[in-house]
Structure 1
């Protein structure tokens, strides 16, 4: 069954908690912003949308679903977002309702200051932000924190935002629970910021986690983005926003910008091995279950999120119709590990559906239904398969 990614990837699914961290530094009138993007997949991209009429050109960063996880426009406005513990937010009656993707694109295309962003967002119903915070920073060093029920301007010289709600009553306690955030805070206590990209990257290095897939260092006054891949701070690539926007609409897979021998590229290739697409998951399974008892393995299966991860990776491969056989292998492996998981059999059925192997699709949708008789998606697909088979038979 297809994973439903509502809003940003960090707006939350399940699996292990994946967060992000952002450090804003203003020194002698110059502002630099660092961001760690933490996620399971190394399939990260940077893409460029040049100005249209009076709108600003923008560089976006994110993953292959092209949902902006961060951005910088040519006016020096930067954006990012963070998963946070869920809090209820009442609907804001009388305000405009817009998809978050449209909101981000409009803001990045039209505004240069956080004051402008605040004025615009004050007209929008932001009640969908129940488990996330958005942050905008402009050239002056001013920043805007956006929660579902709050728009808060700030102007501290140095500020770190991560996976907490800034206006929550328990914010100080929440911060202390984030060890990576506290590492950044403690680093600032013992190291004097000097306003350089190198210092900013040092802070992000302190706050990276094992699943930090990429790091951006935005130089808002210079108009550059320094990229690091997979928490490898020994290799970086600098992007000149103005020069890239002159090339028109285009994109780069981040891994393609780095040396083949770099840690991030090695991980990227292992994760995306077309000859052995399930190999990455098999390695995780073998490592985590080696030497464990049956009871320990069952506990790992129920708490690790491996089923979710398998489903997510399978759908990444299935985005490309040419890679559907790879998705079949991944979902097959996952159903062998989780033979009682109706969702995984539904996904395997969908993979066979896309491969036009209707016989195998019927078998796996049927298995999904036997495990979950209320799976309406499987019922709908079985009806469609019957129609396709009958249609093909009539043509013959």
Structure 2
């Protein structure tokens, strides 16, 4: 097993940002209120997940990549947000009161309007490197980054990849912003075909591509989705109806016809593509039969597959992310991102956690395993044992993973030390 492959996959899940990624728009005119966005990235496999209302949270739908961070979302009241990547360093604004988890996902669950969101934000410093546009069904919107809050002053607002505070002085360069602005300022009516045209004209292709495009009718809570700049085949979501069906997490591409262009783009990362194909196999043939097949194939193979163990490790991690997303009513696995709320000791059971444990146990027995990778696997094993109630084994594994910083990756080492202090 190559530690470079596995650690690169892990870091890409945690740290990837594309500085020319995404175009986000809000528009209110003649009683109609919309938001629209192109989501741009260098990998496919987008997810959609529906989160029904609970006693603590409003119902919502979220869109994102396999790490299950909500890139874009709308709740049952039509409160919407979406991010663009930036070069803004929050540290230069000296944030002090930082929210312990996913700030905007929390806002999604607790607020109905931009006004309510701003009240919530008064409690916390914005310590996120990206820039967010937040809009509501009343026609209000605001663009926020670590140093700026800019309220919409006319009919529309646009968020791309420059600090929005530079808009006043026109100290920016972004054709996607200019194209959107030119079209929006001339608009007499607002509807899905018009916004689709804007998204089509501002889409990106190449290594960094528009993965999906969304148009949100914030008053009616209807979302029109397009996959990989194919604007001929919309997937229309009636959020109110979908939330009555319960929680679910799915690949967004499942709602669209096959596309050679999308498949070729997705295959550019062979390890990630293979992981996603095995996940599809799990959905088709069942979790345990699929895993047993790959365990057995690699055990008896005359020539070992040099990538399968790395792919299996990523599958184990994905199973935890998926399981935790359902447990957290649509929230991210905060422990993976080393967020303070992620270090709560909690217990729940899920067959996906059991399967992840089996994967980590299998990988941990490999001969000639790099010590850093072994400690990383032990840390993950510790976590899944802990949340399934085996605190003693968790403590043992965390102890090994945290025993020597030179033998552990920093992220894994620091998480292990924090958990040991709590056990």
Q: Per the shorter chain, which TM-score range? A: 0.5 to 0.7
**Aligned 8 A contact 1:138 1:220 in 2:** yes
Alpha-carbon distance in 1 for matches of 2:161, 2:77:
27
2:109 equivalent in structure 1: 109
2:322 equivalent in structure 1: none
Q: Could you report, residue by residue, the CA deviation over 1:59-96 in whole angstroms, capped at 9, with x for unpaired residues?
A: 01101111111100110110111111224533244x4x
3-state SS of 1:117 partner = helix
Q: 1:262 to 1:251 in 2, by over 3 A?
A: farther
Alpha-carbon distance in 2 for matches of 1:186, 1:169:
15
2:407 equivalent in structure 1: 379
Q: 1:198 to 1:318 in 2, by over 3 A?
A: farther
1:215 Cα deviation (Å)?
A: 0.7
1:317 Cα deviation (Å)?
A: 6.8
2:216 equivalent in structure 1: 218
1:196 equivalent in structure 2: 191
Q: Could you report, residue by residue, the CA deviation over 1:105-151 in whole angstroms, capped at 9, with x for unpaired residues?
A: 2211121111111111011122x23x321111011211122221333
Q: Does 1:182 align with 2:184?
A: no
Q: Could you report, residue by residue, the CA deviation over 1:6-40 in whole angstroms, capped at 9, with x for unpaired residues?
A: 9xx7xx646x6341111112121111111111111
2:43 equivalent in structure 1: 41
3-state SS of 1:167 partner = helix
2:76 equivalent in structure 1: 74
**Aligned 8 A contact 1:39 1:213 in 2:** yes
Q: Does 1:320 align with 2:315?
A: yes
**Aligned 8 A contact 1:180 1:209 in 2:** no
Q: Could you report, residue by residue, the CA deviation over 1:318-372 in whole angstroms, capped at 9, with x for unpaired residues?
A: 4314999xxxxxxxxxxxxxxxxxxxxxxxxxx9997346434339979xxxxxx
1:55 Cα deviation (Å)?
A: 3.3
Alpha-carbon distance in 2 for matches of 1:201, 1:18:
20
1:122-137 equivalences in 2 (<5 Å): 122-126=122-126, 128-129=127-128, 131-137=129-135
**Aligned 8 A contact 1:133 1:145 in 2:** yes
2:28 equivalent in structure 1: 26
2:343 equivalent in structure 1: none
Q: 1:25 to 1:71 in 2, by over 3 A?
A: same
Q: Which is richer in strand?
A: 1
1:267 Cα deviation (Å)?
A: 4.0
Number of corresponding residues: 298
Tell me the TM-score normalized by structure 2: 0.62
* RMSD of aligned Cα (Å): 3.6
1:161 Cα deviation (Å)?
A: 1.1
3-state SS of 1:234 partner = coil
Q: 1:320 to 1:261 in 2, by over 3 A?
A: same
Q: Could you report, residue by residue, the CA deviation over 1:221-273 in whole angstroms, capped at 9, with x for unpaired residues?
A: 11111111111112210011011100111122111011124744x34764587
Q: 1:378 to 1:24 in 2, by over 3 A?
A: same
3-state SS of 2:107 partner = helix
Which of residues 160, 163, 182 in structure 2 aligns to 1:162? 160
Q: 1:193 to 1:64 in 2, by over 3 A?
A: farther
Q: 1:322 to 1:204 in 2, by over 3 A?
A: closer
Q: 1:17 to 1:188 in 2, by over 3 A?
A: same
3-state SS of 1:116 partner = helix
Q: 1:56 to 1:20 in 2, by over 3 A?
A: same
Q: 1:48 to 1:316 in 2, by over 3 A?
A: farther
1:355 equivalent in structure 2: 363
